[in-house]
Amino acid sequence: MTLRELQEIIQATFGSKDARRGVEGTFMWFMEEVGELAAALRAGEDREHLRHEFADVLAWLATLANIAGVDLDEAVEQLYGSGCPKCRCCPCACVAAKP
Amino acid sequence: MTLRELQEIIQATFGSKDARRGVEGTFMWFMEEVGELAAALRAGEDREHLRHEFADVLAWLATLANIAGVDLDEAVEQLYGSGCPKCRCCPCACVAAKP
């Protein structure tokens, strides 16, 4: 699935509710899912459970991006398409950054 | 860009550092970026700035997924590929859920 397809599915499925809720309310939902991901990772849940929590966080990030008018595909392509955004190397050759 | 391509870029660029750092340390970096996204959304930063923050959050989510052995593409396809995971409709027909 491309990032654009994901944003389109989220928009088609939840777009009208998302627009009514706005950025602040949506951020609260996003954070709830981030918390559930943290709990699942900490507890060492199985792959199926983790997959579910990662999907929810990503779906809510896509929702936020839809509301903010940001194309996630364009965003990651621009920043990470050539490897590390700082040293522009792949693998990253930064010594201090991102330890 | 597909989600799989994103995970591959992140793995090739940062994989060895990410593996050394592990889940807990990586989650701290992820949360730092979530905080920067919150600040940018709250401040109403311009599209270019928001794009940067969304890309960073997504890149760190991909890093976490790499460490946890989760395929984000498979994860969202499974949960959101048919629309709403609860009512299986697109658009979502749930009355109470996800207000």
CATH label of the domain that carries residue B17: 1.10.287.1080
pLDDT for the residue B6: 96
Q: Of A49, A37, A73, nearest to B78 (Cα)?
A: A49
Is residue A93 domain-resident? no
Question: Peptide bond before B85: cis, by omega within 30 degrees of 0?
Answer: no
pLDDT band at A93 (very low <50, low <70, confident <90, very high): confident
Q: Which ipTM was obtained for this model? A: 0.94
Q: Is B99–A38 a contact, with Cβ atoms under 8 angstroms apart?
A: no
Partner-chain residue, chosen from B3, B21, B98, that has the shortest CB–CB distance to A14? B98
Is residue A60 domain-resident? yes
Is residue A86 domain-resident? no
Secondary structure of chain B in HEC code, one letter for each residue: CEHHHHHHHHHHHHHHHHHHHHHHHHHHHHHHHHHHHHHHHHCCCCHHHHHHHHHHHHHHHHHHHHHHCCCHHHHHHHHHCCCCCCCCCCCCCCCCCCC
Q: Is A91–B15 a contact, with Cβ atoms under 8 angstroms apart?
A: yes
Q: Give A96: exposed, middle or buried? Use CB within 10 Å, 0-12, 13-18, 19+.
A: exposed
Is residue B63 domain-resident? yes
Is residue B18 domain-resident? yes
Is residue B52 domain-resident? yes
Which residues on neighbouring strands pair with residue A2, listed in sequence order?
A: B2
This prediction has a pTM of: 0.94
The predicted-structure confidence for B48-97, as pLDDT tens digits, reads as follows 999 999 999 999 999 999 999 999 999 999 999 989 999 888 899 886 55
pLDDT for the residue A97: 56
Residue written as tokens 């940018």? Answer: B40
Q: Closest chain A residue to B69 measured between Cα atoms? A: A47
Give the number of domains in chain B. 1
Q: In which domain, by residue range, is B36 found?
A: 3-80
Is residue B16 domain-resident? yes
Q: Closest chain A residue to B5 measured between Cα atoms? A: A2
Partner-chain residue, chosen from A55, A78, A98, that has the shortest CB–CB distance to B79? A55
Q: Assess contact for B54 and B33: CB atoms under 8 A.
A: no
Is residue A63 domain-resident? yes
